[in-house]
Amino acid sequence: MKSDHGSGSGGPKFYASGSADIDVARREVANSPTTGHNCRRRALLLYLWLSALQQQGANTRPFTGVDRRYHPLEARIDEATGDERQRLLPELCVVIDEGFGIVETIQARLIEEGAIAAAFESDGADFPAGGDMDAEWPMFQRDIHNTGCTEAPGSRYGRAAWKFPIGLGRYSRPVVEDGRVYIASPGMNVTSYCLDLESGEEIWKSAQEHPIFGIYKYPAIASTPLVLEDRIVLRDVNSHWGHDSQAKYLHYIDKATGEALERKYAGHVDYRTRYAPVVSNGQVMIFPYAVHDIYRMPAICQSFNRLICTDLDNDNWHWDFNVGDIDALAEPVVTAELAIIGTMEGYLYALRLEPDDKRNLIAWQFKAAGAVNTQVALADGRVYFGCNGGALYCKLGHRVEEATLCIYRDKVFALAADAYVHAIE
């Protein structure tokens, strides 16, 4: 971590944040006070920086006072006009500059004193011998079938090789391919990054251009990157305006350069769902869909309960299936022939990707004892999944609560809400 004394005489050392945009703003603030012309962008970068530090385990409590002053002032300025607005702007600028000073100290303390909680590291004494050193793990739970296991021995010590600040990641996950790591960013400026797998260095980043909407109104990427042959596909969310908002698209990014190529309509996703999935088997794409517009008269508040199957360019929707009366928050799993998804009503559906008749879309369905809110796991022609009603299913009766599953050799491992790991033959 590089450092210098660029933040001002007598102040904390200047440690790089990991974001070139943030570091440029920090140096600008040190050399020139914030004005009405640059206050919005500086405030944006200040809060992005703060979020990144939170995710790294920094103690951000000293910023609380600034935060409590900033938001009421911002709200008053948004409503003010004329002389009143001009009177309030300098006060906001002072708060922003004070915030940068406090976060400089938070950044320095993180580097010099460490995070408020430290991760456990192994001494390597019980590290297993052998294993498949060439095994790939390109995504969460290893593959699209969510099997969550590998013959590779894994990390000997559990030490962090590198880390990269991207903001609040929610439930989106990194994807690895050919020595590159593709990461979605929920930030208001950058939508995604491509990093070098070995070093964590930035290869490219993709940014969005929008007017200043306010902290919660920006489209934010909340999907795991879908990696196609020459493109990356991302999906956005936000909290305002429903179908009249900027956030209702699949974003296509050039895989080599990070250039934004185009965006295609996919329906608005409210940020409170915390995730906006889009998955593929390389031939078709699958994503949940809904219509939300709480500002329309009358308001439209359709449940997040429709599943769309479309081509990779999202130009031709093959089918649109209603999975029930309430939300389907589980991420679909796609095989060569089926899309499998659970619902909050407790149903698990297996849908044919290419039905010979729309009335023959459902290959099979199963009613569980409670809501199915997580991906299923597939292995050896069987489907494993947990539910909120307290059951783990593969036509088995073992009792756990809503579980995260992985399958290894002849056992199913369930990390359950009862604070135990269950191993089931």
Q: Which residue, 272, 416, 259, 284, is CA-closest to 339?
A: 284
Q: Residue 396 has what pLDDT?
A: 39
Dig out the tokens for 358 from the structure. Answer: 């729309």
Cross-strand pairs, 80: none
Distance from C-alpha of 51 to C-alpha of 394, rounded to nearest angstrom: 41
Distance from C-alpha of 1 to C-alpha of 418, rounded to nearest angstrom: 40
Domain-located, residue 330: no
User: Domain ends where: 258, 276, 294?
Assistant: 276
Q: Would you give per-residue pLDDT tens digits along the chain (425 residues)?
A: 555 544 445 678 999 998 889 999 999 999 999 999 999 999 999 998 998 898 888 999 999 999 999 999 999 998 899 999 999 999 999 999 999 999 999 999 999 999 988 777 788 887 777 777 777 777 767 776 777 777 787 777 778 888 887 765 566 788 889 999 999 887 667 788 999 999 999 999 987 665 544 444 566 788 889 999 999 999 888 765 555 566 788 999 999 999 989 989 988 887 777 678 899 999 999 998 887 776 777 877 777 788 999 999 999 999 999 988 777 778 899 999 999 998 888 899 999 999 988 789 999 988 888 888 888 888 777 788 888 877 777 743 333 334 455 666 667 676 665 566 767 66
**Domain holding 192: CATH number?**
2.40.10.480
Contact 58, 110 (CB under 8 A): yes
The pTM (predicted TM-score) of the whole model is 0.68
Looking at the structure, tell me whether residues 233 and 175 fall in a common domain: yes
Distance from C-alpha of 242 to C-alpha of 328, rounded to nearest angstrom: 18
Contact 386, 401 (CB under 8 A): yes
Domain-located, residue 36: yes
Domain-located, residue 206: yes
Helix, strand, or coil (residue 294)? coil
Distance from C-alpha of 68 to C-alpha of 55, rounded to nearest angstrom: 20
Contact 243, 291 (CB under 8 A): yes
Domain-located, residue 411: no
Q: Which residue, 296, 300, 291, 292, is CA-closest to 320?
A: 291
Q: Distance between alpha carbon 419 and the CA centroid of its chain, in Å?
A: 25
Domain-located, residue 179: yes
User: Domain ends where: 240, 257, 276?
Assistant: 276
User: Domain containing 42: what range?
Assistant: 3-113
Contact 377, 148 (CB under 8 A): yes
Looking at the structure, tell me whether residues 52 and 176 fall in a common domain: no
Looking at the structure, tell me whether residues 173 and 65 fall in a common domain: no
CA angle 416, 160, 191 (to 5 degrees): 80
Q: Which residue has the tokens 């056992």?
A: 411
Domain-located, residue 13: yes
Split into its structural domains, the chain has a count of 2
User: Domain ends where: 78, 113, 148?
Assistant: 113
Domain-located, residue 243: yes
Q: Residue 329 has what pLDDT?
A: 76
pLDDT tens digit string along 75-86?
999 889 999 999
Looking at the structure, tell me whether residues 102 and 218 fall in a common domain: no
Looking at the structure, tell me whether residues 89 and 156 fall in a common domain: no
Distance from C-alpha of 89 to C-alpha of 75, rounded to nearest angstrom: 11
Domain-located, residue 92: yes
Q: Residue 249 has what pLDDT?
A: 87
